[in-house]
């Protein structure tokens, strides 16, 4: 690492706010561009780069100079991104479990009224919400693809393809 940057890091670690600000400003764009490529989402990249800068400010004293400062800050950004992915997977599994429990409660409620829970209803629970909505709107409520597209804010072709995919999935489930 350049001696000037190492000196700036030392000053930042000792509490020099202007040194810390200059250091982070110089690396901000570099980390942001990296995160855009990693996430493929500029909004998510912006959130993570902000978290990275905060984490750097909190832990500047831990930087030991054995690697380039840019490597240290990229490592922090990468770890934050990976943690978010893991958290999102855990949250998704919790949401899936809650959804399954809600479906079981709904099925019990239907059956307790002596109403029939059909194989079609069971298969519908396994469709994604996007596919279930378009199938219902088209084949149960009779809307056109143009109307479905307008209701959902998507092109009519997307509504048609979601419906077709949903129907294929239902046929597979029911076979």
Q: Which burial class, exposed, middle or buried, applies to 95 when counting CB atoms under 10 A from its CB (0-12, 13-18, 19+)? A: exposed
**Of the ranges 5-14, 56-65, 119-128, 148-157, which one carries the lowest mean pLDDT score?**
119-128
- Domain ranges in the chain? 3-89, 118-174
pLDDT tens for each residue of 67-113 = 889 999 999 999 999 999 989 888 888 888 887 887 777 777 777 77
3-class DSSP state for residue 94?
Answer: helix
Does the domain at residues 118-174 carry the CATH identifier 3.40.980.10? no
User: Which CATH code fits 3-89?
Assistant: 1.10.1740.10
**The pLDDT of residue 1 is above 60:** no
The pLDDT confidence band at residue 54, using thresholds 50, 70 and 90, is very high
Residue 12: other Cβ atoms inside 10 A: 23
């Amino acid at each position: 690492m350049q001696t000037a940057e190492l000196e700036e890091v030392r000053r930042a670690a000792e509490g020099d706010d202007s040194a810390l600000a200059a250091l982070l400003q110089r690396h901000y764009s570099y980390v942001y561009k990296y995160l855009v490529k990693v996430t493929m989402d500029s909004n998510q990249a912006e959130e993570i780069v902000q978290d990275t800068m905060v984490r750097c400010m909190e832990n500047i004293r831990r930087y030991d100079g054995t690697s380039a400062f840019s490597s240290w800050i990229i490592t922090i950004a990468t770890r934050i991104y990976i943690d978010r992915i893991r958290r999102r997977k855990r949250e998704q599994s919790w949401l899936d479990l809650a959804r399954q429990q809600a479906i079981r409660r709904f099925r019990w409620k239907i059956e307790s009224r002596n109403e029939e829970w059909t194989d079609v209803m069971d298969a519908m629970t396994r469709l994604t919400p996007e596919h279930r909505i378009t199938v219902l709107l088209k084949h149960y409520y009779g809307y056109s693809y143009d109307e479905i597209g307008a209701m959902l804010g998507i092109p009519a072709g997307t509504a048609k393809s979601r419906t077709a995919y949903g129907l294929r999935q239902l046929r597979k489930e029911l076979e």
